[in-house]
Amino acid sequence: MIILGSKRQQDQATAPVQRAFDEMDAPPAYTSLGRATPIPVAIPTLPLDQTNPSSSHNPFYMPPAGVRPTNHLSLEKSDGRIEGSFCIDPSISLPAHLLPPLRGDETEGTRPNLRLRTKDGRIDASVYVQGSPIQNPGEALKSFKSRRIRVDMHTKDGSIYARLIPLVAHIPFTLTLYTADGRITLLLPRSFRGPLALTIRDGKAILSPGVLANAVPLGHQDRTSRYFVDDGDNNGNGDIAVWSGVSGDEGWTGDEVRAETRDGSVYVRYLDEEEEQLSVWQSLARMIGV
């Protein structure tokens, strides 16, 4: 055993370890290594905007400290899980040479604002959307088309737990979720209005009581359950007309969700809606994807 006889000798012995620690890379700007920050249930709401009654449905959330706004972020891994919080601001413009390459099914018009992909691992992501508030939801379908948020999460083996959290009244978004083997859990803001397409080969499509109350069933075909979800203001009648093309020829530019799993269930609920309490047997059934 070696006995260090002085403080100077001790400092010399520990110097290599301290240098190695100091040279370690700093963590990334987004929280990708730890578990995503849980969403509390009881959260104060934004002040009611008299010009936009639906704004009262948007709980006020803040991203974790250190999560800064970005745009067109692409995170792809060949192995391992993706967990973290991300803040997307569609107004941020990046030089062309800094943009991630487009995939085969993407164009400049459909470039994702956030792309998370892994071949082997679960995805647990909280996506905060930042931007200017929309004062008139009806006009948003036309004037905010270019600012429609696109989020893509894809894994070949693992579950997906996704939260879409607006930091302003609402910005329209398209959310695409896919896993070949695993359960999909999606938490939506109360301001969501648009179609849900849930494709499940071996499992169930489950809507929470709150979502189900605002959902208009559109049928089930080719293992895909389709719904139109409104925010509860007008039972979705006017929005369905726009979505189906009856009230316009430019197509739907509001919210849209497409979720697909080949082996598992899809569960959709609101951000501020308490998760249902399951029995032991129900929990076991959910774990095995029944």
User: Is the model's pTM score more than 0.75?
Assistant: no
Question: Residue 199 pairs with which residues in a beta bridge?
Answer: 224, 260
**Has residue 13 been placed in a domain?**
no
Q: Report the number of distinct structural domains present in the chain.
A: 1
Task: Give the per-residue pLDDT at 107.
Answer: 74
Inter-residue contact 117 to 75 (CB < 8 Å): yes
**Has residue 239 been placed in a domain?**
no
**Has residue 123 been placed in a domain?**
yes
Cβ neighbourhood burial of 181 (10 Å; 0-12, 13-18, 19+)? middle
DSSP 56-96: GG-B---PPTT--EESSEEEEESSS-EEEEEEE-TT----G
Task: Give the per-residue pLDDT at 108.
Answer: 74
Reported as a pLDDT band with limits 50, 70 and 90, residue 45 is very low
C-alpha 187/C-alpha 59 separation (Å) is 13
Give the tens place of pLDDT for each residue, 165-195.
Answer: 998 767 899 999 999 999 999 999 998 999 9
Q: Phi/psi of residue 257, each to 5°?
A: -130, 130
pLDDT value at 68 more than 80: yes
Dihedral of alpha carbons 170, 46, 273, 65, sign: positive
Amino acid identity of residue 235, one-letter, is: N
Give the tens place of pLDDT for each residue, 87-129.
Answer: 999 888 888 888 888 877 777 778 899 999 999 999 999 999 9
Give the tens place of pLDDT for each residue, 227-241.
Answer: 999 866 654 455 665
For the CA atoms of 210, 216, 58, 37, what is the dihedral angle to 10 degrees? 60
Mean pLDDT calculated for residue range 257-275: 93
**Has residue 128 been placed in a domain?**
yes
**Has residue 223 been placed in a domain?**
no
pLDDT value at 276 more than 90: no
pLDDT value at 249 more than 90: no
Reported as a pLDDT band with limits 50, 70 and 90, residue 2 is very low
pLDDT value at 242 more than 50: yes
**Has residue 102 been placed in a domain?**
no
Residue 68 belongs to domain spanning: 29-93+110-189+262-287
Inter-residue contact 107 to 144 (CB < 8 Å): no
C-alpha 218/C-alpha 207 separation (Å) is 14
Maximum alpha-carbon separation in the chain: 87
User: At 139, which helix (H) or strand (E)?
Assistant: helix 137-143
**Has residue 224 been placed in a domain?**
no
**Has residue 67 been placed in a domain?**
yes
Greater model confidence, 50 or 107: 107
Supply 207's token pair: 């809507």
Give the tens place of pLDDT for each residue, 136-157.
Answer: 544 444 444 456 899 999 999 9
C-alpha 259/C-alpha 225 separation (Å) is 10
